[in-house]
Structure 1
Amino acid sequence: MSASSVPHPPVLEVENLSIAYHDGIAHRRVVHDVSFRIDPGEVVALVGESGSGKTTTAQSIIGLLHANGRIDGGSIRLNGTDISRWSDRQLDTVRGAKISLIPQDPASSLNPVKTIGAQVGEILRIHGAASGRDLDARVISLLERVGLSEPALRARQYPHELSGGMRQRVLIAIAVALKPQLIIADEPTSALDVTVQKRILDLIDELRTEYGTSVLLVTHDLGVAADRADRLVVLQGGRVQEAGATKVVLAAPRSAYARQLLADAPSFSAVARKAPATAREKPLASGDDVIIVDGLVQDFTRTDGNGKSFRAVNDLSFRVRRGTTHAIVGESGSGKTTTIRAIVGFQKPTAGRIEIDGTDLSTLRGETLRQFRRKIQLVYQNPYGSLDPRQTVFEIVAEPLLNFGSLARPAREEKVRAILSRVGLPEPALDRRPHALSGGQRQRVAIARALVLDPDVVVLDEAVSALDVTVQARILDLLDELQRDLGLTYLFVSHDLAVVRQISDTVSVLKDGREVDGGAVEDVFERPGSDYTRELINAIPGQKRAALV
């Protein structure tokens, strides 16, 4: 065999890896005998829900386990050398140079008091790769390479002055600065809009091709993994449930868990669906329009001191029929949140009319406006941030009844228990506080709190975007069931078109405060009227997999 035909050894080999965390009493194993390899230039995805062990596995590879964590067994070989028991000092020689990490949250991963240039330059300086003017030039070159406009300006700015997508590009610039052999991308796009997500993943692909870098992609999004990975490793409870070539695993998953992930992934059903979105057999209501938005305009005064205003929402109109779901979609800055704040009465529109169940919001003041809010309730994106950590679940759900009305204590308790049971929370959860609940349970509490006042309209502000795909599927099923049983009207705010197509009847697509597409969901998806909507639809992950089925 010629030297050129000798296969390259794996960049990374993980063999029978076991990891444990100390819980204050003993070490508890959370990763069990995990094995996989990554070849040069290959993308391998670790896929699973929160608690599956994927992030713990990735952290162990680069030596960033929490202080109470330890490797209990197995090996981690980088270019054939076992680094699993290396000290921090030894690992510092390969971090950045041989293995780099793109973390999940750019907001918390960048130092808020250091400029972007200083943070990108730090890795070059620490490894002695550049100094002085050469260092400055390398920093600007890296920022330009990852697609940041005006890289010299960005180098002088601080993280808070950049958008989420721009901050993620900065983290990628740091990760590729020394052209490592392996990049660990830990949920690198989970907090980003769908089009920004696609651009970031495209960028990682470009850099991988250019530098020959291997990628370990850690994600709960099977659609992203399907589009981007050569091979999949599916984890549940710290154990490998499925592993193999992406197209093989997705075409014929052997494990029940992998099959469930496929069934729950909204991106697959959204791109593969042949029938329109309303094929859920939920009939459109024949009743009246419960929400009417006509010519909504919302201006704000700029905070830069020049006294000028900017238009966040520009002449927006739509109607929502009783018992149906209307989605408002668009990227960050499109006007989604401003629109719903006006609809729930948190701010007075600059112009236009908002009518909820026959009531014109402009006529409401004081106590009348406060009582009106019983009719329309809001469920936020982050239930952990919107639930009082000092209250029990029972107290959280009972609070609106105390604020609106004078139900006697026995009737109040009966109503709270009934709605908590309705959203599927077990009796023992009633005395717990939010920190003791899972993400899905917290969102069920938030939904119960919104429903306890018997509203006509529920506004769901990115209400499932922070959830794992399986938990998300359960919450979407619950919302659909509640709508059918209680006749609820939903206003669903999201940047995730896959979810929107799955659950909505009608949609408004916003860009820069204007509606660029609107109407029945199946019409907008099948016949988008704007380039922007087509870009959003094309950015839905999982489309490569859809082509296989």
Structure 2
Amino acid sequence: MTLAPDLAAPPARALDTPVLEIDNLVLAYKDDEAFHPVVHGVSFQVRPGEVVALVGESGSGKTTTAQAVIGLLAENGRLESGAIRLNGTDISTWSRRQLDAIRGSKISLIPQDPTSSLNPVKTIGDQVGEILKIHGRGDKKAIEARVIELLARVGLSRPELRARQYPHELSGGMRQRVLIAIAIALEPALIIADEPTSALDVTVQKRILDLIDDLRREFGTAVLLVTHDLGVAADRSNHLVVLQGGRIQEQGPTAQVLAAPRSPYTRKLLTDAPSLTKAQRPSKGKSTSAASDEYSIVVEDLVQDFSLGSGREKFRAVDGVSFKVRKGSTHAIVGESGSGKTTTARSVVAFQKPTSGRILVDGIDVTTLHGESLRQFRKKIQLVYQNPFGSLDPLQSVFQIIEEPLLNFGQIARKDRARKVHDILGRVGLPQSVLTRKPRALSGGQRQRVAIARALVLDPQVLVLDEAVSALDVTVQAQILNLLDELQQVLGLTYLFISHDLAVVRQISDTVSVLRNGRLVDSGTVEDVFLRPGSEYTRELIEAIPGTKTLSHA
């Protein structure tokens, strides 16, 4: 397994003094009255023009390490020992004032969330220009010209217009480009990119990563890339540092680590990463006893319009979409944000009445249901949401969360409800001890298992999974996907899987529909669509999957 040629070696200047040198770094957070180390003796270097990726699960210490480099540790965090050298100078003991002088000019941060990182009441131009003003880079006219130049440099169309707009008027990918414009404004020697594309669609992600790589080559900038996505790290880095529990498990040239990982943890990460897995698993629909020639879901010529404001103007979110899902199989709907995939899913579960078209679930025409018949229909089909942190009531215990659907349907004896809750909890692989806990006391993977248990407690035939694993680390994601596979085998469930992650779709689905701007542009078995895409858009989506470069050079 080797890297793509354009990343095989950084520029010649990479042989000079490291831009960043982390030496035996120990970081700690204060909990109650004591400080507890969370990063233990971490050491690595980043040279000019080089991309070093810090990879690992949540809690591995990668973001804490990156925050320490730029002096942005949380208030309850501190550096216990070790050195942070920028161009040979130890900045680990510098004051806030000293660090402010180099933030932006010598070292910059591209944060993860463009929505919360930009000021909603200031124009884009003012926010990009602010760093130029702070560092005294020209008068008002010169700064305005530089702002337009930067916005154009990061690929924003009509930069003069974008400078006058506010963050809410831009898409997620455009907002992330604005953050990159701010980061490169003073041409720093080091850019820290903290999960810079984790919230973006796969094609937008590729464009952002291409942009960062172009800037690296042009300016010789060193990049510290923080990511949990091994596909991104494989494609985009020269050097890999694998963290677990605040300790380095192994590090080395990316191609070397991927080809012959020494650490069991690294091997597990690679096994669990769907974007680095060549083989698609066998079709579950053909192997499960529940699969048949019958269709569990039939969608015919679905149209969904929404009104714009108070006028008569309409926006067509879904335009004539049709597909069928066999019982006991998994059908994926994929596409970028705004493609209509979630709108389609909400129509299937009868959360909204379509403008036109027909939807059959187990032979029932969903579009004709209302009142009590619609309420009873909910027992047949359940929805598992994207975010396990927001979809569970923080005031309820796990037992109450799973029990609640049983209280909403019929008179079920308390003893029978308790037995059902205990049974379903075991089925999703959680210990009985979690029943008394609140969601905040659970990990992300445990919370998603609770959400799945809640969906299954009514014995539905169909589960609609709306980005149900996209918020999870790769190892936890693999555990949930395995759980879904097992549940489908045992219970004969039918899945409608909504996702923008084609690597996951390739791994879990039997058939797929590709949507773009509300229209169906490709459909068929996963194997046919991935190997022989019928549209240029589908081909672009597949080529944008992180890890594609690495696999193609394997």
Q: TM-score category by the smaller chain?
A: over 0.9
The question of 1:508 aligning with 2:508 is answered no
Q: Secondary structure at the match of 1:242?
A: strand
1:243: which partner in 2?
251
Letter in 1 for 2:349: V
* Residues 495 and 366 of structure 1: CA distance in aligned 2, closer, same or farther (over 3 Å): same
Q: Secondary structure at the match of 2:22?
A: strand
Q: Secondary structure at the match of 2:52?
A: strand
Which residue of the other structure, out of 439, 442, 458, is the alignment partner of 1:453?
458
| 1:13-412 correspondence runs (5 A) | 13-269=21-277, 272-273=278-279, 278=283, 282-283=287-288, 285-303=291-309, 305-412=310-417
Letter in 2 for 1:373: R
Question: Does structure 1 conserve the Cα–Cα contact (< 8 Å) formed by 2:397 and 2:439?
Answer: yes
Deviations 1:357-402 (A, max 9, x none): 0101122111110110110000000011111110011100100000
> Shift of residue 87 of structure 1?
0.7
> Shift of residue 6 of structure 1?
11
Question: Does structure 2 conserve the Cα–Cα contact (< 8 Å) formed by 1:225 and 1:232?
Answer: yes
The question of 1:435 aligning with 2:440 is answered yes
Deviations 1:480-511 (A, max 9, x none): 00000001000000000000010000000000
> Shift of residue 154 of structure 1?
1.0
Question: Does structure 1 conserve the Cα–Cα contact (< 8 Å) formed by 2:350 and 2:367?
Answer: no
Letter in 1 for 2:216: R
Output the TM-score relative to the length of structure 2. 0.96
The count of residues paired between Structure 1 and Structure 2 equals: 542
**CA distance in structure 1 between the aligned counterparts of 2:63 and 2:247, rounded to whole angstroms:** 13
* Residues 409 and 5 of structure 1: CA distance in aligned 2, closer, same or farther (over 3 Å): closer
**CA distance in structure 2 between the aligned counterparts of 1:101 and 1:218, rounded to whole angstroms:** 11
Question: Does structure 1 conserve the Cα–Cα contact (< 8 Å) formed by 2:129 and 2:143?
Answer: yes
The question of 1:478 aligning with 2:486 is answered no
Q: Secondary structure at the match of 1:386?
A: coil
Of 109-118 and 183-192, the range deviating more from structure 2? 109-118
Question: Does structure 2 conserve the Cα–Cα contact (< 8 Å) formed by 1:276 and 1:522?
Answer: no
Question: Does structure 2 conserve the Cα–Cα contact (< 8 Å) formed by 1:15 and 1:33?
Answer: yes
Q: Secondary structure at the match of 1:516?
A: strand
Letter in 2 for 1:47: V
Question: Does structure 2 conserve the Cα–Cα contact (< 8 Å) formed by 1:393 and 1:432?
Answer: yes
Question: Does structure 2 conserve the Cα–Cα contact (< 8 Å) formed by 1:278 and 1:522?
Answer: no
Question: Does structure 2 conserve the Cα–Cα contact (< 8 Å) formed by 1:507 and 1:520?
Answer: yes
Of 85-94 and 280-289, the range deviating more from structure 2? 280-289
The question of 1:521 aligning with 2:542 is answered no
Q: Secondary structure at the match of 2:354?
A: coil
**CA distance in structure 2 between the aligned counterparts of 1:6 and 1:212, rounded to whole angstroms:** 8
> Shift of residue 282 of structure 1?
3.3
Question: Does structure 1 conserve the Cα–Cα contact (< 8 Å) formed by 2:195 and 2:225?
Answer: yes
* Residues 355 and 491 of structure 1: CA distance in aligned 2, closer, same or farther (over 3 Å): same
**CA distance in structure 1 between the aligned counterparts of 2:297 and 2:14, rounded to whole angstroms:** 67
Which residue of the other structure, out of 461, 465, 474, is the alignment partner of 2:470?
465
Deviating above 6 A after TM superposition, structure 1's stretches of 4 or more consecutive aligned residues are: none
**CA distance in structure 2 between the aligned counterparts of 1:5 and 1:314, rounded to whole angstroms:** 53
**CA distance in structure 2 between the aligned counterparts of 1:242 and 1:57, rounded to whole angstroms:** 16
**CA distance in structure 1 between the aligned counterparts of 2:287 and 2:135, rounded to whole angstroms:** 60
The question of 1:488 aligning with 2:496 is answered no
2:3: which partner in 1?
none
Pairwise CA RMSD of aligned residues? 1.4
Letter in 1 for 2:401: I
> Shift of residue 406 of structure 1?
1.1
Q: Secondary structure at the match of 2:287?
A: coil
Question: Does structure 1 conserve the Cα–Cα contact (< 8 Å) formed by 2:281 and 2:508?
Answer: no
Letter in 2 for 1:301: S
Q: Secondary structure at the match of 2:217?
A: helix
Q: Which runs of 5+ in 2 are unaligned?
A: 1-11
Letter in 2 for 1:376: I
Output the TM-score relative to the length of structure 1. 0.97
* Residues 6 and 234 of structure 1: CA distance in aligned 2, closer, same or farther (over 3 Å): closer
**CA distance in structure 1 between the aligned counterparts of 2:139 and 2:344, rounded to whole angstroms:** 49
> Shift of residue 137 of structure 1?
1.0
Question: Does structure 2 conserve the Cα–Cα contact (< 8 Å) formed by 1:185 and 1:217?
Answer: yes
Question: Does structure 2 conserve the Cα–Cα contact (< 8 Å) formed by 1:77 and 1:84?
Answer: yes
Deviations 1:203-260 (A, max 9, x none): 0001111111110000000000000000000000000001000000000000000000
Q: Secondary structure at the match of 2:464?
A: strand
Question: Does structure 1 conserve the Cα–Cα contact (< 8 Å) formed by 2:292 and 2:328?
Answer: no
**CA distance in structure 1 between the aligned counterparts of 2:354 and 2:15, rounded to whole angstroms:** 66
Letter in 2 for 1:171: L
Q: Which runs of 5+ in 1 are unaligned?
A: none
